[in-house]
Structures are given as C-alpha cells and as structure tokens.
Amino acid sequence: MTRIKLSKRELVLVSILAVSLLAYLYLNFLLFPGYTKISELTSELQQKKAIAADKEAAVKKLAQLDSLLKDEQLQLEDMEKKIPCNVRLPELIVNIDGKVKEIGMDIQSISIGDVDQANKDYGIIPINVAMEGNFDGVMDFIKYIEDTEREYIIDSFELSPVKRALPMSFSISMRTFVLKDSQNSISPEPDNYYFFKHKNGKSYPFLENNDVPEALNDNIDDDIEVMEKKYEKLDDIINRVEGIIPKSKGIGEDN
C-alpha cells in the first residue's frame, strides 16, 4: 500500500480546505437556517405586537365613544325635557292641573292653542290657565313655571283683587315649545304614552280607566329601532335645541 506523503505546504492547504468546508457546512446548514428562523419569529412577534397594540387602541377608542354616546344620550334626554319632539298634550294638561291642585288653588280653565309653526326649527304652543286662590298660591305657581324642566315663557298674567287675605282670580298666558325635525314637521303624539306607565300621583284623564294599557310593551323592538335612529342625529338635535332655549326666563320675556 502506497502512502502519500504531503509536504508541509500541502498539509496547510488541506487543513485550510477542511476548515473552509466545515465552516461552509456550519453556516449553510446550522447558522443561516437558525438565523433565518429567528428573523421570521422576530418579524412575526412584531406583527403580533402591532396587532395587539391596534386592538388595545381600538378598545380604548370604543370605550371613549361609548362614554361620549352615553353623555350625549343624557344630554339629549335633558334637552327633550326642555323642548320635546312632540306636543305631549296629556303631560302639559296633567302637570299643570296637578300643580294647581297641589298649591291649593282651584283650577278654572286650561286653554292650549294651536301650534304656531312659523319658525322652521320649532313650534310655539300658547297656553292660558285661569285659577282662583290666595296670593301665595299664585307665587308658587309662577315659581313652578319658571323652575320646571320644560321650557316656558311667561307673557302676561292678571290678578284680582289685590288683597292677599281674599280669594283672588289669577290668569296667566305663556308659551312652551316643540322641536321640529329636519323636514320641518312636528312628530305626532305617540299611540302609547310612556307618561301613562307612571301614575306620578295623578289619574289618567285621557284613558277610560286607570289601568295602564296592556299594549304599552307590544312594540318594544320598534321603539328601540326608532331610538337608535334618533340617536344618530344627537349632535344636530342638541345644537338646535341649545339655539332655541332663551338665555333666561322671566315675565314678559320674548323668545
């Protein structure tokens, strides 16, 4: 068997070749695949972090919007107490009649005129109330009109006689308002008044008996759908109502 004897120079070259081959195999089959895998995992991790951050931001934004919606819903409810979207004639009559009796006055008449729709944004409802009682009752009724949730403007009133100790006749003329929609029309009175669900210490003069109508809960889904559509116009309604409400209320003050 012939043995090949390599020179020193050839041994060095063979060693270099062997080391280079091992380095090539290590880099291509061990190091580079591992590095590529690490890069892929790092990129995937960054993407997932970005998605998680986006989701967290979206959740926060949703919470903010939900809070804003609730605030605007409360604001709208407050605005609708001041200037509702329909006349709410039963509420007007029952509340005024109930307050007159509460302060110890005797009601003579309640007259509610036709809605003046000359303004494009709202209608004006003229109201005349006549009653009889003492001076303190008169002042209590005026204070009620100025402090009640619904917006009223007192135009004029008459008192006779002047003496506080004697029963006196008291008549008052005032206005309240109803909001129009974007088509310049007033919403019709609801078939089933939410007002009738709560007695509030009063009877139901607009029903044949004092029982709450069974049909009040029949159209809940329809009511929800109507309210959802209504809340889509929250900003517009609130801004319009704020523009309608007088800066202050007082006797003889104009709209």
Answer whether 158's CB lies under 8 Å from 149's CB: no
Supply the pLDDT for residue 37: 72
Q: What is the pLDDT of residues 141-190, one digit of tens each?
A: 999 999 998 999 999 999 876 665 678 899 999 999 998 887 888 888 77
Q: Is the pTM of this model over 0.85?
A: no
CATH topology of domain 84-185+202-209+237-255: Alpha-Beta Plaits (3.30.70)
Q: What is the pLDDT of residues 6-65, one digit of tens each?
A: 677 767 777 777 777 777 666 666 666 766 777 777 888 888 888 888 888 877 887 887
Alpha-carbon span 87 to 189, nearest angstrom: 7
Residue ranges covered by each domain of the chain? 11-82, 84-185+202-209+237-255
Supply the pLDDT for residue 143: 93
| Helical H segments across the chain, by residue range | 8-26, 32-82, 89-102, 135-147, 220-231, 234-244
Query: Cα angle vertex 246, ends 241, 251, to 5°?
Result: 140
Average pLDDT score over residue span 107-117: 93
Supply the pLDDT for residue 31: 66
The answer to whether residue 70 scores a pLDDT higher than 80 is yes
Q: What is the pLDDT of residues 213-255, one digit of tens each?
A: 444 444 445 555 555 555 565 666 666 666 655 554 444 444 4
Alpha-carbon span 160 to 122, nearest angstrom: 34
Q: Which residues are CB-contacts of 190 (< 8 A; sequence separation ≥ 6)?
A: 86
Of residues 74 and 106, the one with the higher pLDDT is 106
Supply the pLDDT for residue 172: 95
The order of strands in the sheet holding 122-133 is 106-112, 122-133, 168-179, 152-160
